[in-house]
Amino acid sequence: MKKIHEFKDKKVLVLGLGKSGTSAAKILHELGAQVTVNDAADMSAPELEALGIKVVTGSHPIELIEEAELLVKNPGIRYDNVIVERAQTRQIPIYTDIELAYLISEAPMIALTGTNGKTTTTTLVAQILNESGHLARLAGNIGFPASSVASEAKADETVVIETSSFQLMGTVRFHPHIAVITNIYSTHLDYHGSQENYEAAKWNIQKNMTAMDFLILNFNQEKMRQDYAKKTNATVVPISTEQVVNGAYLQDGKLYFKGEFIIDKVDLSLPGDHNVENALLAIATTKLSGAKNEAIKHVLSTFKGVRHRLQFMGVAQGRLAYNDTEATNILATKKALTGFDHSKLWVFVGGLDRGNEFDELEDSLNDIKGLIISGETTNKFVALAEKMNIPYHVTENVVTGLNEIFYQTEIGDTLLLSPACASWDQYKNAEQRGDLFIEAFEKLKEN
């Protein structure tokens, strides 16, 4: 960790006692800051208090920000929070943990963002670099606090960091050497207020980059080609499955980087057109980082997926299963459905009713073997199934559905949990839904 002095004796308020907040507080304390940590939840933090860090929980007392010179906030805390608004009024700098991570990191950074695919691509990049002998550490929105990982990384390593729009709003000097934007769609508008604000937050990933840095963009999206590529100072490296570009691309069923063959599409281990894009993004990123072709091919052909994101769960009594519980919107499910033989596919759908209809799924559900439907959106999916003449089974939840439908399926069939809905009608979160699905399938393996 760089022993920087800019925080020495500075009064810093850390807002949020999650993983990132706890990590940031300890690092700032070590760098000589006068740290106070605040969380609205009534909780204790004996580890921080043992270091002499002031901890205030149970509310957000406005006086905490009056003496602060810097606010480091949890990315999930909105900018209309009373303390954050007061910090803005007083023109106090507001950081998230990725800014602190950048300032203390001895290791160079590769940063990835986007609406979909960023977790899979981030994981692929780190695995390929490690397979090539380049030491890479995963960090950021993928579950490892960025500041904690950056504090441990050495100069000869690489921090591969997944960044969210929430984190990127707090960037000031954050400056990765390679940045990736997987794609941009409409989401998180409740947090950002508008699509324009959401995109502006994502675009912060490149704001300090120069021509010596690389920005990898998905040229399948017109906005990337016609807008983003023309307004950055970074050197743009495109990827595309639709045309030959001066970067990574798909041509005649083969994946290339700048004319160099890397791998056949049929050898990719993850199904779906979106995973071809993810593979191309990973190829471009790792080739620019000096990865070996053998390492790239090995990882892309053996990678089993990120847990809960089109995760291959294995085979039980001749039936294959995939856990895509993180497909909490229609677009994610549409993408997942591109990767399977519909004549052998059973799809588990349904969940929280956010008021939308599911007609957009019609083309993607053509010719599937059946739907297993549960959750608040049951009536909507039943109506869709009947309209399309798709066989369906209504059940209480994904576990009962798996147990009830399993022996109606045939050897060679695929069971896919890709709900197109959030999980909060029945579960704590999407991960819990996926964990229960995995557990139920594991029991079927034993029979």
Query: 416 and 282: one domain?
Result: no
pLDDT at 162: 94
Q: Considering the domain boundaries, does residue 346 fall inside one?
A: yes
Q: What is the mean pLDDT of residues 295-313?
A: 89
pLDDT at 192 over 90: no
119 is in an annotated binding site: yes
pLDDT single digits (tens) 23-45? 999 999 999 999 999 999 999 89
Q: What is the mean pLDDT of residues 164-188?
A: 89
Q: Considering the domain boundaries, does residue 6 fall inside one?
A: no
Structure tokens, 221 = 């999206």
Domain boundary among the residues 302, 321, 347 is at 302
120 is in an annotated binding site: yes
pLDDT single digits (tens) 278-291? 999 999 999 999 99
| Residue 428: other Cβ atoms inside 10 A | 9
pLDDT single digits (tens) 205-218? 999 999 999 999 99
305 is in an annotated binding site: no
- Domain with residue 192: its CATH number is 3.40.1190.10
CA 104 to chain centre: 23
pLDDT tier at 143 (50, 70, 90 boundaries)? Answer: low
Query: 269 and 399: one domain?
Result: no
205 touches 168 (CB < 8 A): yes
- Domain with residue 45: its CATH number is 3.40.50.720
Classify residue 316 by its DSSP letter.
Answer: E
Q: Considering the domain boundaries, does residue 116 fall inside one?
A: yes
404 touches 393 (CB < 8 A): yes
Kindly report the length of the chain: 447
H-helix or E-strand spanning residue 36: strand 34-39
pLDDT at 307 over 80: no
412 is in an annotated binding site: no
275 touches 324 (CB < 8 A): no
pLDDT at 305: 78
pLDDT at 190 over 80: no
Q: Considering the domain boundaries, does residue 334 fall inside one?
A: yes
118 is in an annotated binding site: yes
Classify residue 375 by its DSSP letter.
Answer: S
Q: What is the mean pLDDT of residues 195-202?
A: 90
185 touches 220 (CB < 8 A): no
Query: 121 and 258: one domain?
Result: yes
pLDDT at 374 over 90: yes
Structure tokens, 338 = 């591109």
pLDDT at 354: 87
- For the chain, the average pLDDT equals 94
Q: Considering the domain boundaries, does residue 406 fall inside one?
A: yes
347 touches 312 (CB < 8 A): no
Query: 260 and 395: one domain?
Result: no
Q: Considering the domain boundaries, does residue 3 fall inside one?
A: no
pLDDT at 447: 72
pLDDT at 177: 97
Domain span including residue 229:
98-302
pLDDT at 398: 97
Q: What is the mean pLDDT of residues 245-258?
A: 98
Query: 56 and 160: one domain?
Result: no
Residues contacting 275, CB < 8 A, separation 6+: 120, 268, 310, 339
115 is in an annotated binding site: yes
Structure tokens, 256 = 């290339």
pLDDT single digits (tens) 80-112? 899 999 999 999 999 999 999 999 999 999 999
Query: 250 and 395: one domain?
Result: no
pLDDT at 170: 78
- Domain with residue 400: its CATH number is 3.90.190.20
Q: What is the mean pLDDT of residues 115-140?
A: 92
Q: Where are the beta strands (DSSP E) in 241-374?
A: 248-251, 254-257, 260-264, 311-316, 319-323, 345-349, 370-373
CA 98 to chain centre: 15
Classify residue 327 by its DSSP letter.
Answer: -
pLDDT tier at 229 (50, 70, 90 boundaries)? Answer: very high
Query: 291 and 339: one domain?
Result: no
Nearest to 280 by CA among 107, 125, 157: 125
The contacts found for 58-66 with CB under 8 angstroms, 24 or more apart, are 60/15, 62/86, 64/13, 64/36, 64/38, 65/13, 65/90, 65/92, 66/90
Domain boundary among the residues 95, 119, 153 is at 95
Structure tokens, 33 = 């800051």
Query: 70 and 197: one domain?
Result: no
Domain boundary among the residues 269, 302, 335 is at 302
Query: 176 and 71: one domain?
Result: no
Gap between the Cα atoms of 261 and 174, Å rounded: 34
pLDDT single digits (tens) 351-372? 999 888 999 999 999 999 999 9
pLDDT at 188 over 80: no
Q: At residue 85, what is the residue type?
A: E
Burial of 253 (0-12, 13-18, 19+ CB in 10 A): exposed
Query: 243 and 143: one domain?
Result: yes
Q: Where are the beta strands (DSSP E) in 141-222?
A: 158-162, 178-181, 214-218
Query: 136 and 215: one domain?
Result: yes
Query: 50 and 191: one domain?
Result: no
Number of domains in the chain: 3
